[in-house]
Structure 1
C-alpha cells in the first residue's frame, strides 16, 4: 500500500511539474509576450549602442588631446596660434600657385622635375616590347 501511494504521489508531482512547464512556454509564445520580448531586446540594443557611441566619443577626445599635445597646439593662451617654430616656417615661405612667377605672370617654362617625369613617360612608352 505504501508503495502505491509513493508512485501515485510521484506521478501527480510529475504531472503538475510538466503542466506548469508547458503552460509557461505557451505564455511565452503568445503574440503579446513575443512583442514584449522584442521591445525589451530593442531597448537593450539601444542602450548598448548609446554606450558604444559614448565610448567612441571619449576615445576620440583622448586621441585629439594626444595629437594636440604632440603638435603643441594646446599650450598657450590662444590655442589657435601655431607654435613659434611652425609659424616661422610658414612665414619664411611665400605661397605661390604652381605655374606663376613671383610677379604673378604665367610661368612659360616648367621645372626640371616636370621635364624629368615627362621624359620618363616617353621612355616608358618607347621601351615596350610589344608588336602592334
Structure 2
C-alpha cells in the first residue's frame, strides 16, 4: 500500500510539474510576450550602445586633451608668465607710395557700376 501511494504521489507531482512547465512555455510564446521580450532586448541593446558611445567620447576627449598638452609644450605655450615671448611684428605694412595701393573709400566693389 505504501509503495502504491508513493508512486501515485510521484506521478501526480511529475504531472503537475510538467503541466506547469508547459503552461509557462506557452505563455512565453504568445505574441504579446514575444513583443515584450523583443522590446526589452532592444532597450538593453540601446543602453549598451549608449554606454559604449559614452566611453568612446571620454576616450576621444582624453586623447584631445593629451594632444593639446603636447602641442602646447611644443609651441612653448606652457612657459611661465614672467617669460612671455616677444611681440610679433606685422609683415604686411601699407605703403601709400605704392601704385597698387588703393584707398578704400574711392574703390567701389559694385560690379554693375560700369553698365
Would you call these one fold, judging by a TM-score over 0.5? yes
Show the counterpart of 1:6: 6
SS at match of 1:72: helix
Instruction: State the TM-score, normalizing by the size of structure 2.
Output: 0.64
The corresponding residue for 1:34 is 34
RMSD: 2.5
Deviations 1:33-68 (A, max 9, x none): 000000000000011111111101100000000101
| Distance of aligned partners of 1:43 and 1:75 in 2 relative to their CA distance in 1, 3 Å threshold | farther
Consecutive unaligned residues in structure 2, runs of 5 or more: 80-84, 90-115
- After superposition, give the CA deviation of every residue in 1:84-117 in whole Å (9 maximum; x if it has no partner): 6xxx8xx9xxxxxxxxxxxxxxxxxxxxxxxxxx
* Match in the other structure for 2:102: none
2:55 alignment counterpart: 55
Partner of 1:70: 70
Q: Matched residue pairs, number? A: 81
Aligned to 1:109: none
- Distance in 1, Cα, partners of 2:54 & 2:33: 32
**Structure 1: stretches of 5+ with no match in the other structure:** 77-83, 92-132
User: TM-score normalised to the size of structure 1?
Assistant: 0.56
Deviation at 1:75?
4.3
Bigger helix fraction: 1
Q: Distance in 2 between matches of 1:68 and 1:33?
A: 52
